[in-house]
Amino acid sequence: TQLLEQSPQFLSIQEGENLTVYCNSSSVFSSLQWYRQEPGEGPVLLVTVVTGGEVKKLKRLTFQFGDARKDSSLHITAAQPGDTGLYLCAGVPDAGGTSYGKLTFGQGTILTVHP
């Protein structure tokens, strides 16, 4: 069972278009991170959200954490070819037990922005 459902899995758009990536779960998360990974490199942390309803902006990227802390979204405005990469959401489940502290990853979204 995939705890974090990320969609879409693939996104191919033209430069200048807007896009949104979603990360959904039926479980509550203490925090949620978004990473971007380029081919042959490690994931780079973009943002961490921890408060329900929180919105964070990083230049043309806007990140939102759902009020109930079960979902998150990443919106990119006016995408550029440099935004191309694998986007991963990852979170720490709120419940205790053996999963506490581990990062649970979504399946990833492969974004291609064409010039």
Q: Under the rule (CB under 8 A), what is the footprint of other proteins?
A: 30-31, 33, 35, 40-45, 48, 50, 86, 88, 90, 92, 94, 100-103, 105-108, 110
Closest contact distance (angstroms) between CB of 12 and other proteins is: 14
Strands 10-14 vs 109-114: parallel, antiparallel or unpaired: parallel
Q: Can you tell me the distance from the alpha carbon of 90 to that of 21, in angstroms, rounded to the nearest whole number?
A: 13
Closest contact distance (angstroms) between CB of 78 and other proteins is: 25
Q: Can you tell me the distance from the alpha carbon of 93 to that of 102, in angstroms, rounded to the nearest whole number?
A: 8
Closest contact distance (angstroms) between CB of 75 and other proteins is: 21
